[in-house]
Every structure is written in C-alpha cells, then in structure tokens.
Amino acid sequence: MMLVTTKKMLNDAKNGGYAVGAFNAENAEMVWGIVHAAEELNAPVIIQTTSSTLKYFPPVYFVHMAKAAAESTGMPVALHLDHGANFELAEECIDSGYTSVMIDGSALPFEENIRVTQKVRDYADNFGIPVESELGKIGGKEDDTESGESQYTDPGQAAEFVNRTGISSLAVAIGTAHGIYAKKPVLDFNRTTLIKKTVSVPLVMHGASGLSDEALREGVEKGMNKINFATELRIAFTAAIKAHMAEHPNDFDPKKYLGPARIAVKELVKAKIQVCGSAGKA
C-alpha cells in the first residue's frame, strides 16, 4: 500500500473510539520495526520525524524508507512531521512526500500561533495534506522541542483555534511532558473530555513515553485519537545495542547489533498498538 494521509486514519479512530499510535523514527531500523509491528497486528500506524532528526537525515530519505516499508507490508502507513519548527520545514516535508505535518506554534502568542498555523494549512491544502497544530504548552524536552511547565489547553480557546485555522487534528496539553518523567505526572483527562465537546477534529496526546498503560487507556477513553511515542523507542533501541555489545564486544558488523535493536522497537510498538486499541483496525 502507498503512504496514506492521517486524515481518514484519525477520523476513523475518532469514530471508532480508539487511538492510532504515532512513533518517532531515527533510522531505517526503527522504520522497519514500526511498520512490521503494524503488520503483525493488522493496525494503521504513523511514522514520525522531528525537526532535529531531519537535520541528521533530510526528509526525502525518510519518505523513501517509509514508502518502501508501507509497500512491503500493505498496512496503512502515514509519514508525519512531528513538532515542525517553522513554515519552511513543513513546506520541505510536504514537497518531499510527507503525508501529514505538524506546525508547532504553541510557544507563540495565541494570534501568532493562529497565523503560522493558517500559513502551513493553506500550503498543505494545495496537496491534500492534513495539518496538526498544538494549543497550550506540553512541558519537558525532546530534541529541539523544549518547554518549561505545561500550560493546559483552554477548551474555549481550542474551539476558536480549530475554527480559525482549519486544522485536521489538535495536540492538547493536559499535563503530559516530553522526554523522561522525573515524577509521576498529574494528568487532567477531564479537560480532554471538555475539549472533545468543543471541537470536531481528532485530539492528539504528546509526551506518552513513560505513562502507564492505565493512563494511556484512560486517555483513549476520554477522547485521544493519536498518541505519540518517541523517547521509549530510543531507549529500547539503544538498550538492545548495549546488551548485544556487552555479550559480543568484538562484533563490528552493524547488522549484528542493529538487528536486535529493530526487534526491540518492533516489540515495544506492538505493545503500544495494543494499548491504543488500534490492533485489527487496518
């Protein structure tokens, strides 16, 4: 199957009461692990890359990797720009073949966030590409994305923001954070329910790495339709390499130590797909 957009995928999740897992990839091995997990569970899946990752490899590399992976499995796979830092990067990703983009203007004043989001959406509309944006601030640090304390999304502002920008999905701040949690987060899932009543688009949860399965399931129950995972995948990937090299310190063939790493990613992604409730939804 060719790469698909996230629009139908997430609207199906909204109507079906589940979430689609969105997984950040850094290399071909992680792309392989993500898509093969989806294939084994017959699930739709979203591959994501951050602005920082695209400084390491340009968007066109990930487009070709994701296309090859999607075509080899036959699963519905979308390729999404996560936390797009500016219009120019969103434009480059769309031109390269990404099938979904996020523009993150959450650190900007409300009107400026609307302006930059509208600009990306206007460009994306020319290609039928859906746009995700963020309102409120999701705390923590991941790659180039860094915020202080979370600033919860206001349900009333959410309605105005979605109506004026015409976005396809909305990332909301309910107390989650990027990176590793230093302490147990206080999550306001009731806010999710309120926001869901005011907007018609699917809602997105960022900062899911490290949350319990119970918390993730509650997020889905309260209305989250896309859940992002990044840090946990990196930890699993690196831990598998370290474990292999501890047992085989003289190995120098990358296939020897990257093979277990991609399997570790696949197994973690399978577990998250199950928690999101998207297994069997392809």
Provide the annotated active-site residues: 82
Structure tokens at 57: 């490899």
Do the Cβ atoms of 152 and 119 come closer than 8 Å? no
